[in-house]
Amino acid sequence: MDYRRLVNECPSVVGMLSAGLQSGGSLDSTVRSLAVNGPRLSRKLFEDVVRRTDTKEFPSISEGLVAMASALPKEASGCSRAIMMVISASESADDTTRNGLLDDASDLALEAVKEMGESYGESLTAPCMAVFGIGIMVPMIMMSILPMLSIGGIFGSRSIDQGTIVLITLVIVPAVILAVSVLVRHRNPFLSESLSLNELKCALPLLGTLPLAISHCYFFGGIESLFILSLAPTCIATMILMMNDMNNDRKRRKCEQAIMDSVFDIGNRMVSGENFETSVISTTSSWEGSIELSERISREMNVCRGDVRSALHRSIDPISREMGMALEDILVCSEKNNDDAGRMAVNLGKQFQNRNRIRRTMELRLKSTTDMMIGTCMFFAPIVLGMSVSMLEPVSRISGSSALSNTSTILNIYLIELCALISVLLSSLGSGERLTSIIWRFCLMCPVSLLVFLVCSSFSL
């Protein structure tokens, strides 16, 4: 088990435990709920605790949690301390003391995530510099520096074999970049998006590149503009077809964030005397990203005939399962005491806000890295490689060696590979991206990169 990702789930786990305890539930029922609906890695641990308690290996859920927390390794010590504090809170009879301990547990979990985020951000420097150096410098050296070594006969007049160029540029260098991408993805503790191969259907229009290339070769014969004229139309067509799905996903993420931000306001309204249903509808209608959701919740509640829980599931779960569970916990608590439910919502809202602040800080730190990689792929790499092709002919004349044939073709193929690999690498940073985002980014970067290379390689030196 990757215990770093377990630490990343810890704020959600502590929030769910806190919500269960503050809504009047017992530690036993809350842990059993987590074993069914909790985050992926944490769910396995809680399932094990429930199973071993039910088989009488542990006398109680509480002792099972203590054993589980004590067995966590050093890298998950923040998660262990937070869980132990939640156990202490569950055993407190005083509401003020219990709420204070739960707040401290939440702070411990968030601090552990913050420290892990800082460590993760610092660990990206070496891999990204490696991709930059290998992906740009090696092909540039192969195309421009090596022919200069034969000037004056210092290293002999024999030029480098084209097969070696192809092997290094199109096989070895991309393989190294892919290995770095896989390593970065494996070491990323914040990944939340899993890649689904079903989303590959979005890339089907790219298959039209081959017939376009064949048609270009048949009618025009030249290869200078072959790649840009055959790949750019299919990339544009792919982006047009994906635009609706990307907009829907963007709206979903915006709505999810709006719900998360509105939990605090829902709690304030409930403390002021409003009931749960009115607070949810009024608050979500006041946030730009959740206006449509507010209308959907209102319609579902009008037809649910008093089954508010089902109305919440049908309207909120498609957007965010986590937020659906949070509002359901508030609803359960409101059925017992509306004021207590409001205070619980306020505490949950603070937890969500603190967690979002940490994630935004991490995203800002990663932004310089992602901007550098995108800029490198779209502009710097094609400019350097294009100018290298322009320099290759005069350098070859000076050195007395023959210029490598098909250099432009090799580098066009390499830039296509580089755009695909950088898209995969960027999807491995932060909280991760869906496969559709990888395809979208590739279709955006690749035509620009090929166009810049075509312009720079056309200069006559």
Which tens digit of pLDDT belongs to each residue from 205-237? 888 888 888 887 877 766 777 888 888 899 999
Q: Which of 4, 58, 64, 55 is nearest to 34 (CA)?
A: 64
Task: Give the pair of three-digit tokens for residue 291.
Answer: 């206006």
pLDDT of the residue at 320: 82
Residue 305 φ/ψ region, left for φ over 0, alpha for ψ in the -120 to 50 degree band, beta for the rest: left
Distance of CA 81 to the CA centre of its chain: 27
Task: Give the pair of three-digit tokens for residue 371.
Answer: 């901007």
pLDDT higher than 80, residue 351: no
Instruction: Fill in the DSSP letter of residue 396.
Output: H
| Mean predicted confidence (pLDDT) in 419-427 | 87
Instruction: Fill in the DSSP letter of residue 26.
Output: -
For residue 113, with 0-12 CB atoms within 10 Å meaning exposed, 13-18 middle and 19 or more buried, which class applies?
buried
Q: Is the dihedral of CA 399, 401, 405, 407 positive or negative?
A: negative
At which residue do the structure tokens 């509306």 appear?
Answer: 338
**Choice among 69-73, 168-172, 363-367, 390-394 with the minimum mean pLDDT:** 390-394
- What's the chain's average pLDDT? 80
Other beta carbons less than 10 A from residue 263's beta carbon: 24
**How far is 60 from 200, CA to CA, in rounded Å?**
47
Task: Considering only residues 154 and 266, tell me which one the structure prediction assigns the higher pLDDT.
Answer: 266
pLDDT higher than 50, residue 155: no
pLDDT of the residue at 12: 79
Query: What contacts 203, CB < 8 A, 6 or more positions away?
Result: 238, 439
Distance of CA 379 to the CA centre of its chain: 24
Instruction: Name the range with the highest mean pLDDT among 75-89, 293-307, 328-342, 402-416.
Output: 75-89
Task: Give the pair of three-digit tokens for residue 208.
Answer: 């039209």
CA 32 vs CA 3, 9, 85, 251, 300: distances in Å: 21, 17, 18, 33, 28
**How far is 246 from 233, CA to CA, in rounded Å?**
19
**How far is 195 from 227, CA to CA, in rounded Å?**
28
Confidence of residue 442 (pLDDT cuts 50, 70, 90): very high
For residues 223 and 409, the answer to whether their CB atoms sit within 8 Å is yes
| Mean predicted confidence (pLDDT) in 434-445 | 88
**How far is 169 from 368, CA to CA, in rounded Å?**
27
Confidence of residue 451 (pLDDT cuts 50, 70, 90): very high
Which stretches within 72-94 are classed as H helix? 77-90
